[in-house]
């Protein structure tokens, strides 16, 4: 018998009610250069990425005592920025643990929102060790970047928005990292549009969820530099929520290389005029490279735009890394 999912449509709908007035309903744009492709411009979210949904839902679900003592997380950048924003809006303290691989622009953006930043090690797993210590010794409450029901439910509200703007998508392409976005969006879409094909997309360099799904259990992978840096980091060997949900809900997982990500970033800029980060471009990369066929009403989630200007300038000059 299949175990029940940790996050259901009811959880996601409750999160949507909780988030009213705290997040934006981001636009959806038809791509004139990819017939049938719809771009969900989630990078126009308040903090520049989808992570605000899950972080805010988690913070708003805390008790007054937990909020007063403060929250802590490990992040590759966007979740830390979202948690800093959510905690400040709720009047709480946030501590964000980052590895040395996180780009400087993302580190500064977190500091600018009033969070305490701790730079630890060369991987998200090393940053997570500091989170564990802070919870045990400082009494902070952890708000994980993905593996938590409240975070997944918050990300799932993006699935509800997609269906509000495109009631019966043929395919939905979701950037895949720790699986919070993929699990939440897939849970919403699978419940309300069961015929939709749901595909997780990641980079070839260090795709932890893809490797874990292939192995049938959570595995560690080496975290490597990539244009899709927001998709880096492990899923946690003790993963409780997102691995099982991604295994149950995703129809396929596709990997793209650095040149394909760079080409997609340039394509998105030509269509929208905006600079998106590599993680946001992986779905479009899969379509442009022919790894996924562009069926009618194919929705690509463009997840974030927190990219260093100098990095994007290099990409526009034709450099992939």
* Pair of tokens at residue 96: 């964000």
* Pair of tokens at residue 297: 């009403």
Residue 106 bears catalytic tag: no
CA distance 132 to 147: 14
CA distance 162 to 239: 27
Enumerate long-range contacts of 212-217, CB under 8 Å, 24 or more apart. 212/239, 212/243, 213/243, 213/246, 213/247, 213/250, 213/253, 217/243
- Contact status, residue 228 vs residue 209, Cβ threshold 8 Å: no
Residue 61 bears catalytic tag: no
- Contact status, residue 227 vs residue 278, Cβ threshold 8 Å: yes
CA distance 245 to 250: 8
Please tell me what DSSP assigns to residue 139.
Answer: -
CA dihedral of 133, 134, 140, 143, whole degrees rounded to 10: -80
Residue in 40, 51, 177, 212 annotated catalytic: 51
CA distance 63 to 14: 17
Residue in 61, 99, 123, 303 annotated catalytic: 303
CA distance 107 to 89: 19
Beta strand pairing status for 141-142 and 71-75?
parallel
CA 144 to chain centre: 12
DSSP reduced 3-state for 38: strand
The residues carrying an active-site annotation are 51, 303
């Amino acid at each position: 018998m299949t175990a029940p999912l940790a996050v259901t449509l009811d959880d996601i709908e409750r999160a949507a009610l909780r988030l009213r007035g705290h997040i934006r309903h981001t636009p959806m744009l038809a791509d004139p250069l990819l017939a049938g492709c719809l771009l969900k411009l989630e990078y126009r979210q308040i903090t520049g990425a989808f992570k605000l949904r899950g972080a805010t839902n988690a913070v708003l679900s805390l008790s007054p005592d937990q909020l007063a003592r403060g929250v802590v997380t490990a992040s590759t950048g966007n979740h830390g920025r979202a948690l800093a924003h959510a905690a400040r809006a709720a009047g709480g303290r946030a501590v964000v643990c980052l590895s040395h691989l996180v780009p400087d622009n993302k580190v500064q953006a977190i500091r600018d929102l009033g969070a305490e930043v701790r730079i630890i090690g060369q991987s998200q797993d090393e940053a997570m060790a500091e989170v564990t210590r802070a919870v045990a010794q400082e009494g902070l409450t952890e708000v994980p970047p993905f593996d938590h029901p409240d975070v997944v439910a918050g990300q799932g509200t993006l699935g509800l928005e997609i269906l509000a703007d495109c009631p019966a998508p043929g395919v939905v392409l979701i950037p895949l990292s720790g699986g919070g976005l993929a699990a939440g969006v897939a849970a919403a879409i699978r419940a309300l549009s069961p015929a939709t094909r749901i595909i997780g997309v990641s980079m070839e360099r260090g795709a932890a969820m893809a490797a874990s799904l292939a192995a049938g259990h959570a595995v560690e992978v080496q975290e490597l530099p990539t244009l899709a840096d927001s998709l880096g980091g492990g899923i946690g060997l003790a993963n409780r929520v997102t691995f099982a949900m991604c295994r149950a809900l995703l129809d396929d997982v596709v990997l793209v290389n650095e040149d394909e990500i760079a080409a997609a970033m340039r394509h998105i800029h030509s269509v929208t005029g905006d600079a998106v980060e590599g993680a946001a471009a992986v779905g479009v990369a899969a379509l442009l490279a022919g790894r996924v066929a562009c069926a009618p009403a194919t929705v690509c989630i463009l997840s974030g735009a927190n990219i260093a200007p100098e990095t994007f300038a290099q990409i526009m000059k034709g450099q992939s890394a």
